[in-house]
Amino acid sequence: MEAINFDYSKAVNFFKKAEMDNLSPFAKIALHNLKEKEGVGAEFTDWVDWPKDFLQSEIERINQTAQKIRENSDVLVVIGIGGSYLGAKAAIDFLNHSFYNLLAPSQGFPQIFFAGNNISSTYLNDLIEVIGERDFSINVISKSGTTTEPAIAFRILKEKMIDKYGKEEAYQRIFATTDQSKGALKKEADENNYESFVIPDGIGGRFSVLTPVGLLPIAVSGAHIEKILQGARFARENYLVDDLENNQAMQYAVLRNIFYRKGKVNELLVNYEPNLNAFGEWWKQLFGESEGKDQKGIFPCSANFSTDLHSIGQIIQDGQRNLFETVLNIQTARKEIEIPRLEENIDGLSYLEGEMMSSVNQMAYKGTMIAHTDGSVPNLIIDLPAMNEETLGQLIYFFEMAVSLSGYLNGVNPFDQPGVEAYKRNMFALLGKPGYEDISKELSQRI
């Protein structure tokens, strides 16, 4: 298997080797605490060994269920929020045709839509119109079953499904990914005999893409989930090495810490392929929710070049020097197209005639990297051999390992998210949810 490669050669002018050497012992301690479950949040680190421990029988059941959905449904609606949908959306976009949902019906695959990740009545009504009278299935993903956004969407779409099919058939079209033993969704799934998959207790939502949370919808899209896990297993062997010189995930974590200490408090994840846009959204949650604590943390942003060079390129080049870039560089395009030759040079592109578009994209990447580093923006490069399952599995594991080490280096628990609860408490109080009466009056006076 060809490995992804982390390259920091375009950032060496922005730090001293001694800085990496000084942090090396602390990075090794962080890795030890992660591997041995001796660090804070250790109860949520089962993802470390998950690629090798995941049962083959469960992989086969996921594939069988995915085949069932493909055979009886024109649409799959995945209901979830945060880690319950971002990883699946990122993977499906990464691995499939740029216009998957438009082509899926003609290729024997269901369209895959996501719901329960917002509270927009317009969005949900529009989705119901798109489904129309076609056959559909639901994969509802929630540890508790009471998270507001997915719970509302599930209640509404479940009613539509029951109206269409009746309870008996509707319940055969609902697939629940939830807690193993407790929670409202688990109780409902048991009572109604939904086929169910388990969200492991020891893996938090933003680390769950390689569990049934992500793998079921990914499998429905036709991807080979075994190959994704194979890539993650390969990465695990590389990133559990207790040696900064040979552990690229550790290098990335250390360099992020160095840049943060130098005032580079914003990180821009850059891609040059639109199919990676959703991956940037997954990455933002992984890093933002893992590191943003105790008034600390690098703010994660993402951008699609060359598109965004025509919108935010100016501020990157000449704005405040408080950011660095991590670039996802696809080395082999999935598809090629040649720039045609014309008799007249009307558009001024005669110098590109006969060139492949991917070559132009590569020159855009290299030219941008030179310009931005000249403008004092460090560039960290992650070379991806191709956009396939093995590469995706490696990349997911690389970032999960790196953010865990980075959080430990910065003195925070990378596996909790206490700040997420603040908005929920206020929303519940303003909506009159029982148990929040003590703060509802005060909040009502503040709005």
Euclidean distance between the first and the last CA atom of the chain, given in angstroms as a whole number: 56
Instruction: Tell me which residues are annotated as active site.
Output: 289, 424
Q: Which ranges constitute the DSSP H helices of 240-386?
A: 248-261, 277-291, 313-318, 357-374
CB atoms within 10 A of CB 277: 17
Residue 5 corresponds to which tokens in the numbers above? 């490669």
CA distance 398 to 235: 7
Query: Are 173 and 193 spatial neighbours (Cβ–Cβ below 8 Å)?
Result: no
Provide the 8-state DSSP code for 294: T
> Token pair of 202, please?
């020891």
Q: Exposure of 328 by Cβ count < 10 A (0-12 exposed, 13-18 middle, 19+ buried)?
A: buried
Residues whose CB is less than 8 angstroms from the CB of residue 16 and which lie 6 or more positions away in sequence, other chains included: none
Q: Which helix (H) or strand (E) holds 26?
A: helix 17-35
Q: How far is residue 141's CA from residue 333's CA, in Å, rounded to a whole number?
A: 33
Cis peptide bond upstream of 144, omega within 30? no
- Give how far Cα 433 sits from Cα of 116, 118, 221, 438, 440, Å: 19, 19, 38, 11, 9
Alpha carbon distance 122, 126 (integer Å): 6
Q: Give every CB contact of residue 264 below 8 A, 6+ residues apart in sequence.
A: 298, 321, 322, 323, 324, 378
Q: Which of 313, 324, 317, 316 is nearest to 263 (CA)?
A: 324
The amino acid at residue 269 is: L
Amino acid identity for residue 45 in this structure:
T
